[in-house]
Amino acid sequence: MANCWEQAAQDQGSAARAGWLTARDGTRLPTPLFQPVATAGSLRTLDWRDVLKLGYRHVLMNTYHLVVRPGLAEIERAGGIKRFTGWPGSVLTDSGGYQVHSLAARVSKRPDGLRFTDHVAGGRWHFTPASTLQAQLTLGVDFAMCLDVCTGLPATETRVRADMRLTHDWAREQAALWPELVGGLASPPRLFGIVQGGLFTDLRRESVELIGGLGFDGVAVGGLAVGEEREEFQRLAAFCGPLLPAGRVRYLMGLGDPADLLFAIAHGFDLFDCVQPARMARHGHVYSRLGKFQLKHARFAGDERPLDPGCRCYVCRTHSRAYLRHLLMLKEHSYARLLTLHNLYFYRDLLGRARRRILSGTYARWWPRQFVNLDRVLPEDL
């Protein structure tokens, strides 16, 4: 099986890489790549036309949420998740392991898999290493993820080690099972393994070595961006990045914050996902090149400037802060969509600029200053 990721450039002064990730239909996706999250087959507040216009050709969905609603049978009857949702781009699905963290009270870990009591109607589900792969094949995605155990924080080393070992057992099982499952497919999905190990570098090293050695098409780091302090995040991301196999796509799951994305890119990660740009938008938070701000702030009443004077997105070309704030104060649904459009444009633009810097070998000089700006909370002198 040919590699689904190829490198296009290596930055001069950092571990940052630019490359191409190839989807099932041959579409080449530029990396570093941010994946917007369309949890249960919908990117909140947007339609697919919006997503395409923003320049995204690829989204992440959650197997768990889709299995619960509308259910695999309905999606299969429609001809897979792309036919069901009408999304013409590519899809990566998370396997359900993240829900060990996000829905902890509803999940129990067993040696043979995860048992869920769902958050909708209290139905009971059993996700095994084999069944989650089969589910993702039924969905018809481009990139599937192994079932893992994402340990929430705080966690003792004993617990993190136990979760990691379970993740490893399942990874071995899934790596062995996969060729058989996709044997009959002309153009099979790609399967990514997931590294765990919490905030412990020894465990992370062990996990990278094991998962990296199982021949997956890509290697993901899970169990970060789950609420740890930024220093901890940086310590672990900087530790794991360079250890990961150089020739394969490196995915830091659940990231996240724009400044953190630049940090992770500098340490060799290629792929990301997070609900953050859309969720923040729904709460009135706006990203801009000068810093982030809360649009409800009285400072923005009557402010006729666009959200980000340097931005060329539809929203910034059409509307003022004053008008968007007016919609927000009115609780008109459309504010959430317009801010989501802006924030997602901002993310794509940011990662596009990062990629161009890597291609020209100037990323290491560029990103630290951007990091400071992205972290700034406005108004300062605005």
Alpha carbon distance 44, 28 (integer Å):
25
Stretch that binds a copy of itself, among 69-77, 129-137, 163-171, 253-261 (CB under 8 A): 69-77
Least CB distance to a copy of itself at residue 293 (A): 19
298 binds a copy of itself (CB under 8 A): no
Classify each residue of 75-84 as buried b or exposed e, where b means 16 or more C-beta atoms within 10 Å of its C-beta: beeeebbbeb
Q: What are phi and psi of 89, to 5 degrees?
A: -90, -160
338, 324 contact by CB (below 8 A): yes
Query: Segment near a copy of itself (CB under 8 A), from 179-187, 195-203, 212-220, 318-326?
Result: 318-326
Does 46 interact with a copy of itself (rule: CB under 8 A)? yes
Strands 113-117 and 33-36, by their bridges, are unpaired
Q: Does 69 bind a copy of itself (CB under 8 A)?
A: yes
Q: What is the H or E stretch that residue 44 is in? A: none
Contact 14, 357 (CB under 8 A): no
Nearest residue (CB) to a copy of itself, 252 versus 338: 338
Residue 307 vs residues 39, 150, 276, 284, 286: alpha-carbon distances, Å: 27, 36, 18, 11, 7
- Using CA atoms, how far apart are residues 4 and 24, in angstroms rounded to an integer? 9
CB-CB contact of 220 with 193 (8 Å): yes
> Is residue 320 part of the contact set for a copy of itself (CB under 8 A)?
yes
Binding mask 333-372 for a copy of itself (x = CB under 8 A): xx-xxx----------------------------------
Q: Can you tell me whether residue 146 is helix, strand or coil?
A: coil
Verify binding: residue 285, a copy of itself, rule CB under 8 A.
no
| Binding piece for a copy of itself, criterion CB under 8 A, among 35-43, 218-226, 235-243, 253-261 | 35-43
Q: Which is the catalytic residue, given 163, 260, 270, 273?
A: 273
Among 49, 283, 305, 369, binds a copy of itself (CB under 8 A): 49
Instruction: Determine if residue 71 is left, alpha or beta; phi over 0 gives left, psi from -120 to 50 gives alpha, anything else beta.
Output: left
Looking at 26-34, 66-74, 125-133, 348-356, which segment touches a copy of itself (CB under 8 A)? 66-74
- Whose tokens are 């044997």? That residue is 183
- Catalytic residue IDs: 94, 273
For binding to a copy of itself (CB under 8 A), which residues are involved? 40-49, 69-70, 74, 77-78, 84-86, 301-302, 304, 314, 318-320, 322-323, 326-327, 329-330, 332-334, 336-338
